[in-house]
Homo-oligomer: A and B are copies of this chain.
Amino acid sequence: PGSISFITQSGSLGLALAEWTIDTGIGLCKVISTGNKADVDDVDLIEYLNNDPSTGVIAMYVEGIKRGRDFIDAVRRVRKPIVAIKTGRSKRGAKAVFSHTGSIAGSDEVYSAAFRQAGILRVDIIDELFDAALAFSCQPLPSGNNVAILSNGGGASIVAADECERQSLNIVDLTPETREKIKKVIPQFASNSNPIDTAGTVSFEIYDNIIKALHDDPNVDAIIVIYVHTTMSSAMPPAEAVVEMKLKCIKAKSRKPIIACWMGGAGTEEGVEILKSGCIPNYPVPERAVKALSCLIKHQEFLDKVKIGVGQEDKMGRCK
């Protein structure tokens, strides 16, 4: 059991999500399939889940909303993050929506605007829906959008940096002290500026020292840790370093999320298992890690701007 609850107009997508959560090792709280919404609708469900102590994040698959105004009002009262995919934006899709659940897909722009006002994070693809829910379910919201990236592969860190800029996240300048600490544990030809590239070297000690340095850097709000598998390295020690840091964060009630990206398929499995058991959100490519983090940041920004006075719930360590 975890903290992700899913409201879906497609029963089969609900089942797919359930299976996916088994894969990722992250528990699911409730899956509610609404279909054509003859008796219960989203307004009731949102209110119910907002009061449900075991729900930490609400994911939605939406084809159409019936009581639009009531829905927006209900959502604005919700402190929990809501991530939604809204389909039927294409002509064919809208026709299929009507035949599927009898919903009127409506103007896509109207939905986007309404979701934005209400603080719903609208994502475009199913991957992103699940990815964001995973991050919300086991990491705290960061205080700001200043991101640090650690990687043992230059290419992967550059891909992550590009995606950060696309998502308006800031690749922050590290303090001289942090850079000095990092310099001590990486080869001379590696990069100790953000994004940090250890130039292939990877061990528990290297990752542990760097992650700690980043965590102690007051400029950094969130950390992305990337590991690219090679035949010369093991995926486990860096994963252990990440999990150890997370345990320290929970103890210290720190609000710096750590997001992982272990690349390289089958070769990384043992490391991925360690991340799962430590409740670290892990993604197979850097872009998905960055997008998931971006949802955490956007939700905090929304709370700061709109929901003043509404404190952040501490979701640290909620899963497991």
Contacts and interface: CB of A to CB of B under 8 A. Distances in A.
Nearest to A262: B16
A254 interface: no
Contacts of A171: 90, 92
B126 A287 contact: yes
Contacts of A263: 13, 16
Given A127-B287, A154-B12, A154-B101, A88 B228 contact: no
A100 interface: yes
Nearest to A90: B165
A153 B23 contact: no
A55 interface: no
A159 B85 contact: yes
Given A153-B12, A156-B12, A96 B195 contact: yes
Interface string A272-297: 00000000000011111000000000
A178 interface: no
Contacts of A229: 15-16, 19
Contact of A19 (B152, B156, B266): B266
Most B CB contacts (10 A, CB to CB) among A9, A97, A285 go to A285
B90 A157 contact: no
B23 A265 contact: yes
B126 A90 contact: no
Interface of A: 8-13, 15-16, 19-20, 22-23, 61, 63, 85, 87-93, 96-97, 99-101, 124-127, 152-159, 161-166, 171, 191, 193-195, 197, 200, 228-231, 263-268, 284-288
11 contacts: A11-B153, A12-B153, A13-B155, A16-B229, A85-B159, A92-B161, A92-B164, A99-B193, A99-B197, A100-B155, A127-B285
